[in-house]
Chains A and B, each alone.
Chain A
């Protein structure tokens, strides 16, 4: 299948610092790919390389089958939306949308047609004659999306577009971007450090750390089967609980008890040799109350902190000296200081090699 965007052995160094290290990434036409990672992981740098705003040190970039490694941004068939909106402040919204097209030499009718289509899609028709200073943050970002839209390109690049907005607007515009993608069916590459945005928008998420993609997969796979401790700890809020243990002959030893994990879906056969492991348990997989008796792993725990979040409650406790969180329905939530029995099923957890941190 023809790839929409294809990155081959891409490297980028700033002096002695390797920001990106021989990266390979293929994105299918119409795919919504999210680049997710902590700050400084190279996700924005990768996006700027794809846009042509940074010169690469090594490797190639293909967009719609064409080698664009050394093309100017305007010739790559991309539109881009920035975190700070980057509107031209002294121009009206209409002029912001049309300026690039005018410079490119499009006819007036064509420009008007494209502006009409984009502003209808983004519902910014009433704003066309205003200056950016007289718009709210959400409106400005719509205009910025509109400026990418009128370019009529195959690939959209988003560089943390919602990070400057407040929480309510952010969720509104998130839904709108998803709707836009469903309607346009363009390829979209979206950089964010917000895992909710990543989970909700992406067809696939690429989790990056130190210039290397750690895992590239659908959101639910990343959430349920993280390939290593970094991904496991990064995705999910509150984050996954980690318990030290030892794996031997299909059982895991935790706190002096042996638990059968032979039904666990091992990456490699039966999980290999005896080794120290780290068990990762999602807070929502921890059971308390009536169902706890049926769980293979059971512990006594004292609740230290309770965080009610409305629909659900997060409780913090300690297990074998480590912080341990559990997520529960608010109606059956435990109280601070309460001693309760908690249980979970190791089959549903993720087991990592303690040395390398990779999933076994």
Chain B
């Protein structure tokens, strides 16, 4: 089979030029510039004195970075896992032909529409011992009640995780609900005739059918986790101590406040790695399904000929 020739429409090219320039300029050149800087000893201002992998060695000895890496795994694991579980449960709830579905959907999606700074501030107030939940319960008479997760180094990260789940669960629900609605109604009928209870149908039949929706929601969540920044700034500024440091916070702090561009860029490059791995995995699956589709297409294409011979 001949390769399809790509024709370029000149008007389209003119229209796309600003976008192409932005994409190349901002993404490709800046990423390369960041990687280059990570091999220099840049302090306050970028310079080009190359020092090999020294910044990386230093990075992996910095407790602040090690805590960041631990935190992002913790934050990623819990927020993605609970987002998926709650998102699916909410989607199942919305799928029960409830009244006021539009209103509920708006409510669940609303946190996603808000800036993470707002989300972070709201949750910080709720968890603040003097303003939030603790003082409310104490005012009711329970004067010994304590609830101030953000002031404790051991629990602060879980406070951030709760806020992250609250923020992301709505959009997961929306994606998974679209997936649920895409399941053929006759499959539901067949399951009812077979006497399969509703919860088993959701768990064993529709859930596996929604792989595409789950992968989409998962990738979106992963991207959100890797770049989590504003939530931390609004809630804890990385504290108490360095207990809620995150890689993105680390990078920004080293580029601006801590005047260590080289180390910040090394950290930024480390953040790029998992994203590249994610994209590679996604590309692999896309390629595999394309290849499978092509294989089936070829098999189908040969069928009519074979049948034609038999029929004639």
Contacts and interface: CB of A to CB of B under 8 A. Distances in A.
Interface of A: 48, 51-53, 72-75, 78-80, 82-91, 99-100, 103-104, 144, 147-148, 151, 159, 168
A147 B209 contact: no
B243 to A, nearest CB: 42
Interface string B188-222: 01111111110010001100110000000000000
Greatest chain B CB density within 10 A among A78, A86, A87, A144 is at A86
B193 A73 contact: yes
Contacts of A75: 195
B312 interface: no
B186 interface: yes
B139 interface: no
A74 B189 contact: no
A84 B193 contact: no
A151 B190 CA distance: 12
A100 B307 CA distance: 36
A103 B187 contact: no
B67 to A, nearest CB: 41
B192 A84 contact: no
Contact of B195 (A72, A83, A84, A86): A72
Contacts of B190: 80, 82, 86-88, 144, 147
A2 B8 CA distance: 74
Q: Please indicate which of the listed interface residues B197, B200, B204 has the most CB atoms of chain A within 10 Å of its own CB.
A: B204
A233 to B, nearest CB: 31
Contacts of B102: none
B184 interface: yes
B189 A103 contact: no
Given A79-B193, A103-B194, A147-B190, 6 more contacts: A53-B192, A75-B195, A80-B193, A86-B186, A86-B187, A147-B194
A52 B190 CA distance: 11
B288 to A, nearest CB: 14
Nearest to B211: A90
A72 B184 contact: no
B196 A73 contact: no
A74 B187 contact: no
Nearest to B307: A168
Nearest to B192: A73
A100 B184 contact: no
Contact of A90 (B196, B200, B208): B208
12 contacts: A53-B193, A73-B195, A74-B193, A78-B193, A86-B187, A86-B189, A87-B190, A88-B204, A99-B204, A103-B195, A159-B186, A168-B311
Contacts of B307: 168
Interface in B259-312: 307, 311
Interface in B145-196: 184, 186-187, 189-196
A134 to B, nearest CB: 9
B310 to A, nearest CB: 10
Contact of A74 (B194, B200, B208): B194
Nearest to A150: B194
B287 to A, nearest CB: 18
Contacts of B311: 168
Given A82-B186, A82-B190, A86-B184, A100 B196 contact: yes
Which of B184, B191, B192, B194 is packed against the most chain A CB atoms within 10 Å? B194
A51 B193 contact: yes
Contacts of B194: 74, 99-100, 103, 147, 151
B184 A74 contact: no
B192 A72 contact: yes
Given A53-B189, A80-B190, A168-B307, A90 B195 contact: no
Nearest to A78: B193
A89 B200 contact: no
A83 B195 CA distance: 19
Contacts of A73: 192-193, 195
A73 B198 CA distance: 13
Contacts of A88: 187, 190-191, 204-205
Contacts of A89: 208-209
A74 to B, nearest CB: 3
A151 B307 CA distance: 34
Contacts of A85: 186
B205 A74 contact: no
A86 to B, nearest CB: 4
Contacts of A79: 193
Nearest to A88: B205
A171 to B, nearest CB: 12
- Those 10 A-B pairs whose CB atoms lie nearest each other, nearest first: A74-B195, A100-B194, A90-B208, A86-B186, A86-B190, A82-B186, A80-B193, A73-B193, A86-B187, A73-B192
A115 to B, nearest CB: 14
B103 to A, nearest CB: 23
A354 B287 CA distance: 66
A309 to B, nearest CB: 17
B144 to A, nearest CB: 50
Given A53-B189, A80-B189, A88-B187, A100 B195 contact: yes
Contacts of B187: 86-88
Contacts of A144: 190
B197 A103 contact: yes
A74 B209 contact: no
